[in-house]
């Protein structure tokens, strides 16, 4: 049977030591009392481990039930325990964490909410989809809704009493939303009649909440063709009366749900709108602007799904590897009193485990770093910092979405490999993680679309200003530490990879001016290169923090100057995860502060592994990038199957 233990200690490292969020207490609104962070981490862990994780396998096996109500409308019944778990989630106040207090929210920072999202995705990804898109609907209405719409919808979305869904995709219109056909006809009462069909609507129908709020893309009569003619509307499963309370049933129905490779406990619905009542959100024909407020938030959420699945897959692969006895270590028996050694003695198994570990811990910091800038972009008192943080989030969104989901699938697949034949068996759980993880590379904009967004929009935006939001801190860090002997093994590989990223950026920018296919053809490799360098920088900084904690060189005043939030300024590896309840046997005391030396030694070992065994992929990536698009060209006859 699989197990899960939330990575509390690693989140403490990310928040308190890497990002040093305490420095923003009393400075940035929402960061008023950060003493609550540890209690939130502990309670998030308890809820995820004790309430959600036990439902994960049973929900996958039981799946969903489709039926009809008295009026013939489609109904969806969630697996046993899911409705009760959702009610416990609502009663605990989790949905309101990062919402506006004016509408019942707690106004807490996104960076504090980020651990909860990962833990939920690790414990039960299907459950995570139930409330997952609600905050995206909340954000769109909060930014673009009328005062009446905000008063009617936001309090119930904030509390979690109602959920929200995004309704974009149609059978003929996926990535290309300009092809959508759903119509919105004005009515005399100021509402609109929505007619059309939407597909792939996560949790479009379910029995956990009495009402579901739909954010729907549709066309007004006479609207321009393509994306310039799309408007956004809000409707509900049950229409609202003048007081914002549920009234008569709307003409929204679930035609069916999809039978999928994974996330079996999450309904992916076909939704039919037959003169359904809805109201315009924002301006006519400006729906994409509001939709992207939801979509960009959803893309960051999907990145967390990849990370969450990767973490639980790694944990189970590690535990199996430590217990599974097979063969002997090549340099001599590690456990001579046993019939065989644990498979952790084998270099290839250690390679797989360290690859998983170095990804999950690095990606966790990237997720928190990005969430911190989401907070800054909304609430930082300095206007320049708000603008800089917004640009940083724009730059990192395709990287978080694409890299964390790609590596989430890869990590789940590696976990199956570590378990061998048992990994292919349902009882051990990891095959479900692989099935569940795969969708995250596809929805909310495929990873290919994220790569095109990075090179097509972000790379050249404002003459490369977005790139500088990341490049400048990396350059500053390398400059500050290049003459520090203890840091040479970390800064040298980072510098080499960073140079590849700079050169690739210049090559794409120059070639793309004359031939856009050159940029498009290099986009996937460029996004991966950018992602690897981002995690390389994170691991180099983590190594410096760990060296200072271990007293291996004196702490420096310059450390704060390259702390990631200020985007506008210029041995043998321990495989024990900090999330797995390791003992404090390595704790030392120095200067009145207890130092968990095992934790920091593991950080150093993992940094060495990542920077020397993962990051060197940049050499092959830049070679593929500059090879050019000509190698993708071939006659049509060559694309025919045999």
Residue 381, C-beta contacts closer than 8 angstroms, at least 6 positions apart: 27, 28, 29
Q: For the chain, what is the radius of gyration of the CA atoms?
A: 25
| Full DSSP string of 491-558 | HHHHHHHHHHHHHHHHHHHHHHHH-HHHHHHHHHHHHHHHHHHHHHHHHHHHHHHHHHHTTSS---TH
Triad 257, 259, 265: Cα angle to 5°: 80
Residue 457, C-beta contacts closer than 8 angstroms, at least 6 positions apart: none
Helix axes 287-323, 134-144, angle to 10 degrees: 150
In angstroms, the CA 200 to CA 267 distance is 9
Query: How many of the other CB atoms lie within 10 Å of CB of 366?
Result: 23
Find, among 83, 211, 202, 190, the residue nearest to 442 by Cα: 202
Residue 545, C-beta contacts closer than 8 angstroms, at least 6 positions apart: 13, 17, 18, 559, 600, 603
User: Any idea which residues carry the catalytic annotation?
Assistant: 444
Tokens 């801190």 -> residue:
473
End-to-end CA distance of the chain: 44
Find, among 46, 188, 30, the residue nearest to 112 by Cα: 30
Two tokens, residue 551: 């007293």
- 3 state DSSP class of 447: helix
Triad 184, 188, 189: Cα angle to 5°: 95
In angstroms, the CA 265 to CA 57 distance is 9
Burial class (CB in 10 A: 0-12, 13-18, 19+), 496: middle
């Amino acid at each position: 049977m699989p197990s899960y233990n939330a990575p509390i200690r690693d989140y403490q490292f990310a928040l308190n030591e890497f990002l040093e969020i305490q420095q923003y207490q009393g400075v940035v609104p929402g960061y008023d009392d950060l003493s609550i962070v540890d209690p939130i981490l502990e309670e998030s862990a308890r809820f995820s481990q004790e309430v959600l994780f036990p439902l994960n396998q049973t929900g996958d096996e039981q799946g969903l039930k489709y039926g009809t109500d008295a009026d013939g409308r489609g109904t969806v019944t969630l697996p046993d325990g899911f409705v009760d778990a959702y009610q416990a989630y609502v009663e605990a106040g989790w949905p309101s964490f990062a919402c506006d207090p004016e509408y019942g929210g707690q106004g807490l920072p996104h960076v504090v909410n980020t651990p909860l999202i990962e833990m939920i995705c690790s414990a039960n990804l299907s459950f995570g989809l139930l409330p997952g898109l609600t905050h995206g609907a909340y954000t769109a209405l909060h930014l673009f809704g009328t005062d009446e719409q905000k008063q009617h919808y936001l309090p119930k979305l904030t509390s979690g009493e109602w959920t929200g869904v995004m309704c974009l995709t149609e059978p003929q219109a996926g990535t290309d939303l300009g092809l959508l056909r759903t119509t919105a006809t004005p009515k005399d009462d100021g509402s609109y009649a929505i007619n059309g069909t939407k597909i792939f609507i996560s949790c479009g129908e379910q029995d956990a909440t009495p009402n579901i709020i739909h954010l729907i893309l549709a066309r007004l009569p006479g609207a321009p063709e393509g994306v310039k003619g799309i408007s956004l509307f809000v409707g509900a499963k049950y229409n609202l009366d003048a007081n914002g309370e549920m009234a008569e049933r709307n003409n929204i129905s679930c035609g069916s749900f999809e039978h999928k490779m994974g996330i079996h406990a999450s309904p992916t619905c076909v939704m039919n709108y037959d003169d359904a009542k809805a109201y315009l959100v924002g301006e006519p024909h400006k729906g994409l602007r509001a939709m992207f407020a939801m979509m960009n938030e959803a893309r960051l959420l999907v990145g967390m799904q990849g990370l969450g699945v990767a973490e639980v897959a790694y944990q189970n692969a590690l535990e199996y590897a430590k217990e599974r006895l097979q063969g002997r270590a090549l340099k001599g028996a590690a456990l001579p009193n046993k019939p065989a050694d644990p498979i952790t003695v084998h270099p290839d198994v250690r390679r797989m485990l360290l690859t998983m570990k170095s990804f999950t811990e690095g990606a966790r910091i990237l997720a928190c770093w990005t969430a911190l800038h989401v907070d800054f972009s909304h609430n930082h008192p300095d206007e320049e910092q708000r603008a800089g943080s917004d640009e940083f989030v724009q730059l990192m969104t395709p990287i978080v979405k694409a890299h964390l989901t790609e590596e989430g699938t890869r990590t789940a697949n590696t976990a199956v490999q570590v378990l061998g034949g048992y990994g292919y068996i349902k009882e051990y759980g990891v095959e479900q993680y692989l099935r569940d993880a795969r969708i995250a590379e596809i929805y909310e904009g495929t990873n290919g679309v994220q790569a095109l967004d990075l090179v097509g929009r972000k790379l050249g935006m404002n003459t490369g200003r977005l790139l500088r939001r990341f490049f400048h801190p990396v350059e500053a860090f390398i400059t500050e530490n290049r003459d520090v002997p203890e840091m040479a093994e970390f800064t040298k590989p980072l510098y080499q990879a960073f140079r590849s990223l700079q050169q690739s950026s210049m090559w794409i920018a120059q070639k793309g001016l004359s031939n856009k296919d050159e940029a498009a053809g290099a986009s996937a490799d460029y996004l991966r290169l950018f992602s690897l360098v981002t995690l390389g920088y994170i691991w180099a900084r983590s190594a410096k923090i760990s060296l200072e904690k271990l007293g291996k060189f004196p702490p420096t005043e310059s450390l704060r100057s390259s702390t990631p939030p200020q985007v506008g300024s210029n041995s043998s590896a321990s495989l024990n995860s900090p999330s797995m309840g390791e003992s404090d046997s390595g704790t030392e005391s120095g200067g009145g502060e207890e130092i968990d030396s095992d934790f920091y030694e593991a950080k150093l070992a993992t940094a060495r592994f990542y920077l020397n065994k993962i990051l060197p992929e940049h050499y092959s990536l830049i070679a593929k990038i500059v090879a050019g698009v000509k190698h993708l060209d071939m006659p049509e006859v060559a694309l025919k199957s045999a």
